[in-house]
Chains A and B, each alone.
Chain A
């Protein structure tokens, strides 16, 4: 590896460096740039420009050679990513293929990644529910992990800040576990989902709710979003291809072009971060060493403040690989806890059934969201034999289908005039909190390296007894609720998916009050290296049950303002 630092150091010096261009990196960069900070954003993958680099976005079904299906050869070569629901013919170019970026599975773990500008913000499920203090207080109340150093009041205005800009549709539901936010008009539940919501009210005394899930889609206030070059969601449900309308929030459609327009952002794709450079004399981080993805040349960039937003497990990897005399075990890792207490969301179980009523109704059109069950277990006190609880998705659907029993002209006429309405199908999936444990960890493989000379990440993460109990409880409770609502043919399932397929891996660089038991302080600064901020999933002390991206956005915006305030002291 030739070190070709031919450009002078001044040209490679910025005021801030953001590592990663996904949902949290995009927010860090946008806020820094809005505050006038000259910012370099490093992304390990290729550039993906909004609209221009969405090759499949307007393709019609028949234009896909396999009508969306992934060919068997690709599946065989990529067993991990092939298990992801969104890895289909229309979006496979936005996913990391197994062979390209290997990792070590000490225990089975499906690590789903998107290495490009925008990262997984192009591919996410766009569900954005706030945390409440019932989540932040969980570890302290129930005695696991460590206490969060922040509470809802610290984050509340930042939730509002990111919601307004990103565009979040929803209703003010007034539920304590799921605080209301800055919402554009919500998407209505359908008639059977409303029926279910009413039945829950009737049978559970107001403790269990079904709401329309808040989603990061533009559903109103069009003039405001026009400033970002975005417009109304068109209900296409083709989000994973990249949206030409900017109808849903992604770094590519929103924060990155916004930051570029300020003139303060330099975007550098194809820059694999090798390490964060620590200067022992100055006692702080001074820059970032990168390896060019294509030429493998090494280059260094310098800045006063560094934001690490490489996605949860890769942020762990970067810190572990940033060693020095002062930090032989990884940057900021004085207590040896870096990479430990990783957790995720338990999505293993589903419950489905049939609703025999409302046969005179169906639905039309599309919507970008569905029903959401906020957590109802162990909310105010410990009441089950497992810790914490679960949220759940829920939807009811009904379609018209052709009769395909015949052959010939009868079949043809039936296909062209579908007229058979089946029953309403109802389905739910769990989103369970898992408990961060020291035994769930990631580390650097001692010998194996990737194409860029980076150590492979070795992953050791598993379910435990708490998760098994929670699955059982979800299946029982949801079946019970289905029965009370009059649903029939109730089936419970455990798909035994591997951890990771939830794509909600979190932790390893957790926040906390005490430097002995955590890596980051209340402002997302490494305790030992305060000019390094980690504001992505790696910083999570516990996982609660909400889809986490909104919280990362709020973290990043809040920390960026903190960093700028610090620099003015």
Chain B
């Protein structure tokens, strides 16, 4: 186990303890596992709501069930440039203002509509415009990483669409009409 995993577990434990008595995030600790992002527990929870709106739970688990927000933060923390990290975090911080403080309580359809709107936000060079662009950056990257983290998860690749390291021999002329795949309902 590396330092990252250890830290994440500590953060989860202490976060859990803090939740029991108060159920709010007034203390809102910065999560040490994503040291470059300085995101708080409540921001991570918001990210969870967004990613779980992008891929919700159902018969098959959704993004939040399999800790996709954690994957998103690891990727942004480790694999993004400093500039991109700044845009992502600024977008995450500005999102409640755009989506309304009651975002988490909206219906799935309403949340989807808000995110769809946010994905295409454009802005000028003014401070407000920059905020719009950051929100769009945050949402587009969250969507992309949600899809990646979800599809390339242990759960999907073992229980839903088992992944094989051995793809079988090459067939360079497969008639698409001959391919039959069962429908998987989420």
Residues of A within 8 A of B (CB): 58, 60-63, 65-67, 69-73, 187-191, 193-194, 234-238, 360-367, 404, 407-409, 411-413, 415-417, 421
A66 contact from B79, B109, B173, B174, Cβ within 8 A:
B79
- Give the total of B residues in contact with A, Cβ under 8 Å: 50
B108 close to A189 (CB less than 8 A): no
Q: With A and B bound together, what is the CA distance between A401 and B55 in angstroms?
A: 17
B112 close to A407 (CB less than 8 A): yes
Q: With A and B bound together, what is the CA distance between A543 and B53 in angstroms?
A: 56
Q: With A and B bound together, what is the CA distance between A237 and B164 in angstroms?
A: 12
Indicate whether A417 sits within 8 Å of B168 (C-beta atoms), given known contacts A60-B157, A62-B154, A360-B177: no
15 interchain pairs (CB within 8 A)?
A62-B153, A66-B78, A67-B152, A188-B172, A190-B173, A237-B167, A365-B170, A366-B170, A408-B108, A409-B56, A409-B186, A411-B147, A416-B184, A417-B184, A421-B176
**Closest residue of chain A to B82, judged by CB?**
A72
Interface residues of B in 102-120 (CB under 8 A from A): 108-109, 112, 115-116
Further contacts, 11 of them, CB under 8 A, given A362-B176, A365-B170: A60-B165, A61-B163, A72-B78, A188-B170, A188-B172, A191-B172, A194-B172, A235-B168, A363-B171, A409-B108, A415-B151
| Binary CB contact string for chain B from 137 to 157 against chain A (1 if under 8 A, 0 otherwise) | 000000100011011111001
Check B62 for interface membership: any CB of A closer than 8 A.
yes
Q: With A and B bound together, what is the CA distance between A509 and B182 in angstroms?
A: 61
- Please give, as numbers and ranges, the residues of chain B lying within 8 Å of A416 by CB-CB distance: 60, 160-161, 184-186
Number of cross-chain contacts by CB at 8 Å: 131
Find the residue from A72, A407, A413 having the highest chain B CB count within 10 A.
A407
Q: With A and B bound together, what is the CA distance between A408 and B143 in angstroms?
A: 11
B54 close to A411 (CB less than 8 A): yes
**Closest residue of chain B to A190, judged by CB?**
B172
Interface residues of B in 1-28 (CB under 8 A from A): 4
Q: How far is the CB of B75 from chain A (nearest CB, A)?
A: 6
Q: With A and B bound together, what is the CA distance between A472 and B126 in angstroms?
A: 44
Q: With A and B bound together, what is the CA distance between A188 and B170 in angstroms?
A: 8
Q: With A and B bound together, what is the CA distance between A360 and B178 in angstroms?
A: 10
Q: How far is the CB of B146 from chain A (nearest CB, A)?
A: 9
B170 close to A367 (CB less than 8 A): yes
Q: Is the interface of B mostly helix, strand, loop or mixed?
A: mixed
A364 close to B78 (CB less than 8 A): no
Residues of B within 8 A of A (CB): 4, 53-56, 58, 60, 62, 74-75, 78-81, 108-109, 112, 115-116, 143, 147-148, 150-154, 157, 160-161, 163, 165-177, 179, 181, 183-186
- Please give, as numbers and ranges, the residues of chain B lying within 8 Å of A237 by CB-CB distance: 167
A361 close to B170 (CB less than 8 A): no
A61 close to B116 (CB less than 8 A): no
- Please give, as numbers and ranges, the residues of chain B lying within 8 Å of A191 by CB-CB distance: 172-173
B173 close to A361 (CB less than 8 A): yes
**Closest residue of chain B to A406, judged by CB?**
B112
Q: How far is the CB of A323 from chain B (nearest CB, A)?
A: 46
A404 close to B157 (CB less than 8 A): no
A364 close to B175 (CB less than 8 A): no
Q: How far is the CB of A399 from chain B (nearest CB, A)?
A: 12
Q: With A and B bound together, what is the CA distance between A450 and B81 in angstroms?
A: 31
- Please give, as numbers and ranges, the residues of chain B lying within 8 Å of A415 by CB-CB distance: 55, 147, 150-151
Q: With A and B bound together, what is the CA distance between A367 and B169 in angstroms?
A: 7
A363 contact from B60, B74, B172, Cβ within 8 A:
B172
- Please give, as numbers and ranges, the residues of chain A lying within 8 Å of B170 by CB-CB distance: 187-188, 190, 235, 363-367
B174 close to A417 (CB less than 8 A): no
Q: With A and B bound together, what is the CA distance between A471 and B4 in angstroms?
A: 46
B168 close to A365 (CB less than 8 A): yes
